[in-house]
Structure 1
Amino acid sequence: MVTGELKSQIDKVWNAFWTGGIANPVEVIEQITYLLFIRRLDDLHTLVENKANRTGQPIENRVFPEGKDDTGRAPRDFNDLRWSVFANRSADEMFTIVGQHVFPFLQQLGETGSSYARNMKDARFTIPTPALLVKVVDLLTAIPMADRDTKGDVYEYMLSKLATAGTNGQFRTPRHIIKLMVDMSAPTPTDVIIDPAAGTAGFLVVAGEYLREHHPEIFTDTLSRDHFNGPAFTGYDSDAAMARIGSMNLMLHGVDNPTMERGDSLAEDHPKTDSYTLVLANPPFAGSLDYETTAKDLLDVVKTKKTELLFLVLTLRLLKNGGRAAVIVPDGVLFGSSKAHKDLRRILIEDHKLDAVVKLPSGVFKPYAGVSTAILFFTKTSSGGTDNVWFYDVQADGFSLDDKRTELDAAVHEQNNLPDVFARWSAIAQSTGVELGRPRTAQSFMVSKAEIVAQGYDLSLNRYKEVEHEVVVHRPPRKILDDLAALDAEIAAGLAELRISLAAAE
């Protein structure tokens, strides 16, 4: 967690952009992302240089070429492209190097490089003045970025400053909600994980941190380590800025070479089907979209323009049999009465295994949106398997449910149900039978497939939850009238005594 002096240093970077004329928070993050990427390239080059110096061998896998930059624009030594070099130049020199040489170098990397490099291919340098560039470079140089945890925390704190929704309706999923979904999904070292609407890659980052914590053996085995640093993580986002930001977020959290692509997951060239073992996602609820832009194989399953339904169909297509998913959906998915809504719920329950519906309070996504949502947990089987569906009614997530989202006492159940959600879910995994025995009046309970089918595949929690009403015994009306008459008599007697007392005083 970023606190104290480090927090102050990051705030200074952010404020420098704002006072320097860049007020769009996404643009600020983009420019910081480019600069951190450049700094990262220099760090990588320094590592291979040090190795070469130790071994006496030539440098392998050079990041920066040798020789001169022959672009025709004031050719320079490629060494000038390095952060450690240009950071010590004069303001005007630094501005020229970064704008005219470093950014074209990043764009050229994108032609044959990793997904990081591909995402940097469209990088645009928009810092308006040499003075602002020097100030930002100096401030970023002062921030310690050698430790992986610190790097990740620094970038996450920067991302938390994205206080407004993006142009396509993107907003960051609260990290404690992501953590709950990842903990309940329990990623394994062999999982191939995808988020088809990745945004800043929060789900993938938290999944990576889960694996580091619960499976440290990954990093003692070459094959497992290579899997973690490559095929284990894939993200797609239709917004180029989000793809770049997500790439950097993963890299700063120690994932060397994931796939983070700019692309519309619902289009004809959506991610490869039957390829993943875990989907973690909070897809956009954009309402509707044009049939012409949507993959026909998705529309063949449910004919709809609702993106939330199409993303669920996509999730099933992406998963291998046996793969599992945790996906946030708007409440309408649970009880919508259209043919597409009903067909999709029937598919989840009859053709696959619907495991759980975790109902979230409506304030979870404030201040971005007040929409009511739930998390669906399901397993792709292509052969059914739903016996009972677990429902949990989350009434508090540890933060106030207003626009301020103030953190509350996480140790108090009434203010934070999330630890209880995970504890009860774990009891199901351990086959303790406790959840099967809970009454419908409890915060969580099981509902049989037969009952859900009888209710037309309705998955709204209130359809099955029983509310206890306290029985109030009222007195007979005649008794109430008698008591009122007695009170009137007491009042009259009191008034009479008061009059006598006043008369005697006169």
Structure 2
Amino acid sequence: MTGELGNKIDSLWEIFWNGGITNPLDVIEQMTYLMFIKDLDDTDNLRAKEAAMLGLPFQSIFAENVDIGGRVVDGSQLKWSTFHDFPANKMYSIVQEWVFPFIKNLHGDKNSAYSKYMDDAIFKINTPLMLSKIVDAMDELYSMMEELHQTDIRGDVYEYLLSKIAQSGVNGQFRTPRHIIRMMVELMDPNPKDSICDPACGTSGFLVASGDYLRERYKKEVLLDKQNRNHFMNDMFHGYDMDRTMLRIGAMNMMTHGVENPSIEYRDSLSDQNPDKELYSLILANPPFKGNLDADTISTDLQKMCKTKKTELLFIALFVRMLKIGGRCACIVPDGVLFGSSNAHKALRKEIVENQRLEAVISMPSGVFKPYAGVSTGILIFTKTNHGGTDNVWFYDMTADGFSLDDKRSSIKDNDIPDIISRFKNLEQEKDRKRTDKSFMVSKKEIEDNDYDLSLNKYKEVEYKAVDYPPTSEIMANIREIEKQINLEMAQLEKLLGKL
């Protein structure tokens, strides 16, 4: 996030504030609607080009005639690129009376995630002048974003917006940094047959990144194969959360990224509300680490596997339950999960090591989640087998992720992520690495002997190099020499000052 871009968003935020929309969640929600309207136009044009290149039929959502509440209107009038040039009063009338109802009813299936969470959406921009100022500011913002040529600058904008919730003291959520999400997706390498779930999805960052990855790596398989395309659009992506605003943003986020009907649901994943068992082939998640839950709300299935009220442990137990046999998981956990000494901590780690197949533990530096939190975290990667299979576990000591580890998170050259991906995809070459290296293998037997401790420092060896210091007499002689030089220069300074 450059200073100029941040300033542009701040000025846009100020327009909302001056117009009477002061709740940070309301600002983000209204801005998200407008970003969605703008992205619909851009995405529709992109899909038309893709279809033409691939020789596929294409039906624009902005058809010549669009039915809005029983009234037929010219679809081109609903496009951002058309109405943004209109006078303020006309623009406001079109957006309020046509465009907003259009996006609320965009998905024909009333049971779809999008329809469910857009049903209670409200357009809160209350004057034509305010809307005109916002649209102009957003046009400038998008022009700036295009000039930057970054792959997920829109995600950066979202994160910057969401950081304002935390700054405002509202109980907001924050997104997992996109480069960490992307790394985890690349490590897991989803394929067109996968069924992907994030049981704590927030704004659907992991699901969006997985969809983008599949479009990049398996474009023909996903878009041209009818069965795969149907699976991608309707059955592949599943997300649960307990915040309707985040679900609404997540559903719009998925649709903007070309997934027509994701399964994004309001659900307490850790309760008996969630019956999912052995349904998914891939879970990617950064679940909340918010302490203890009320025991009465926790699913009895999870309590059998892990007798605890701690969410960070219960979510891992949940991932095991939700995965199919052979299903894979990459999840972010606080460091305490890796070395905690309670019976629940040990039981959970034993479950992953003995009954499933633990593949990797990646230790991340504590600054990764700044400015929101400074907690140290790691990534667990495992496969569900229910019959064990853990052999050697790969450990990696990430010390840099391409950004400074302070609150500013400025871009820097040091970045372990490409190395992590490269080494993980070539684990055969990791077996002979020394414990002093960035990564190394640890046998299941050694982990078992250490009470299933999965902290990197338990196994990493630090190489101490002997340093030869000169004798004390020589050091003292040097100090005397330095003192003599200081006295000489002080005397010269006093002479100069005496002449003034």
Does the pair score TM above 0.5?
A: yes
Could you tell me which runs of 5 or more consecutive residues in structure 2 were left unpaired when the two chains were aligned: 47-58, 486-500
- RMSD between aligned residues: 4.0
Deviation at 1:273, TM superposition (A): 1.9
Match of 1:122 among 120, 132, 139: 120
Encode CA deviations 1:291-334: one digit per residue, 9 max, x unaligned.
22222222222121211111111111111000001000000000
Counterparts of 1:441-480 in structure 2, within 5 Å, are 441-472=436-467, 480=472
> Structure 1 residue 209 and structure 2 residue 212: aligned?
yes
Partner of 2:247: helix, strand, or coil? helix
> Structure 1 residue 281 and structure 2 residue 275: aligned?
no
Hey, what's the Cα distance between the residues in 2 that align with 1:440 and 1:293? 43
Match of 1:190 among 155, 180, 193: 193
Inter-CA distance 352–210: structure 2 relative to 1 (3 Å threshold) = same
Q: Which residue of 2 aligns with 1:27?
A: 26
Match of 1:79 among 59, 73, 87: 73
Work out the number of aligned pairs and report it.
Answer: 461
Inter-CA distance 256–69: structure 2 relative to 1 (3 Å threshold) = closer
Encode CA deviations 1:80-129: one digit per residue, 9 max, x unaligned.
89625977876557656755776667667788252112110121222233
> Structure 1 residue 391 and structure 2 residue 386: aligned?
no
Tell me the TM-score normalized by structure 2.
Answer: 0.80
Deviation at 1:263, TM superposition (A): 2.2
Could you tell me which runs of 5 or more consecutive residues in structure 1 were left unpaired when the two chains were aligned: 48-58, 71-76, 410-414, 495-506
Is the contact made by 2:78 and 2:98 (CA closer than 8 Å) also made in structure 1?
no
Hey, what's the Cα distance between the residues in 2 that align with 1:392 and 1:258? 34
Tell me the TM-score normalized by structure 1.
Answer: 0.79
Q: Which residue of 1 aligns with 2:159?
A: 160
Is the contact made by 1:183 and 1:422 (CA closer than 8 Å) also made in structure 2?
yes
Inter-CA distance 301–169: structure 2 relative to 1 (3 Å threshold) = farther
Hey, what's the Cα distance between the residues in 2 that align with 1:458 and 1:224? 41
Hey, what's the Cα distance between the residues in 1 that align with 2:39 and 2:270? 33
Match of 1:304 among 305, 308, 330: 308
The residue identity in structure 1 corresponding to 2:199 is P
Match of 1:178 among 181, 194, 208: 181
The residue identity in structure 2 corresponding to 1:196 is P
Hey, what's the Cα distance between the residues in 1 that align with 2:100 and 2:73? 14
The residue identity in structure 2 corresponding to 1:441 is T
Match of 2:238 among 234, 239, 244: 234
Hey, what's the Cα distance between the residues in 1 that align with 2:12 and 2:212? 26
Partner of 1:161: helix, strand, or coil? helix
Which moves more between the two structures, 282-291 or 24-33? 24-33
Hey, what's the Cα distance between the residues in 1 that align with 2:154 and 2:348? 38
Is the contact made by 1:106 and 1:121 (CA closer than 8 Å) also made in structure 2?
no
Deviation at 1:65, TM superposition (A): 9.3
Match of 1:267 among 267, 271, 279: 271
Is the contact made by 1:34 and 1:123 (CA closer than 8 Å) also made in structure 2?
no
Hey, what's the Cα distance between the residues in 1 that align with 2:153 and 2:405? 26
Q: Which residue of 2 aligns with 1:416?
A: 415
Hey, what's the Cα distance between the residues in 1 that align with 2:44 and 2:403? 43
Deviation at 1:351, TM superposition (A): 0.7
Partner of 1:470: helix, strand, or coil? coil
Which moves more between the two structures, 165-174 or 221-230? 165-174
Match of 2:257 among 249, 253, 257: 253
Hey, what's the Cα distance between the residues in 2 that align with 1:212 and 1:44? 14
Q: Which residue of 1 aligns with 2:494?
A: none
Inter-CA distance 138–401: structure 2 relative to 1 (3 Å threshold) = closer
Partner of 1:300: helix, strand, or coil? helix
The residue identity in structure 2 corresponding to 1:309 is L
Hey, what's the Cα distance between the residues in 1 that align with 2:333 and 2:90? 51
Hey, what's the Cα distance between the residues in 2 that align with 1:141 and 1:382? 53
Inter-CA distance 446–132: structure 2 relative to 1 (3 Å threshold) = same
Partner of 1:254: helix, strand, or coil? coil
Match of 2:370 among 344, 366, 385: 366
Is the contact made by 2:159 and 2:174 (CA closer than 8 Å) also made in structure 1?
no
Inter-CA distance 64–26: structure 2 relative to 1 (3 Å threshold) = farther
Hey, what's the Cα distance between the residues in 2 that align with 1:114 and 1:155? 25
Counterparts of 1:42-53 in structure 2, within 5 Å, are none
Hey, what's the Cα distance between the residues in 1 that align with 2:416 and 2:133? 44
Hey, what's the Cα distance between the residues in 2 that align with 1:489 and 1:176? 54
Hey, what's the Cα distance between the residues in 1 that align with 2:235 and 2:338? 33
Larger Rg computed on CA atoms: 1
Is the contact made by 2:358 and 2:393 (CA closer than 8 Å) also made in structure 1?
yes
Deviation at 1:18, TM superposition (A): 4.2
Partner of 1:79: helix, strand, or coil? strand
Is the contact made by 1:289 and 1:307 (CA closer than 8 Å) also made in structure 2?
yes
Encode CA deviations 1:141-178: one digit per residue, 9 max, x unaligned.
7869xx9xx99956424313222455445211111111
Using the aligned pairs only, state the percent identity.
Answer: 51
Q: Which residue of 1 aligns with 2:51?
A: none
Inter-CA distance 387–94: structure 2 relative to 1 (3 Å threshold) = same
Deviation at 1:137, TM superposition (A): 4.3
Inter-CA distance 95–32: structure 2 relative to 1 (3 Å threshold) = same
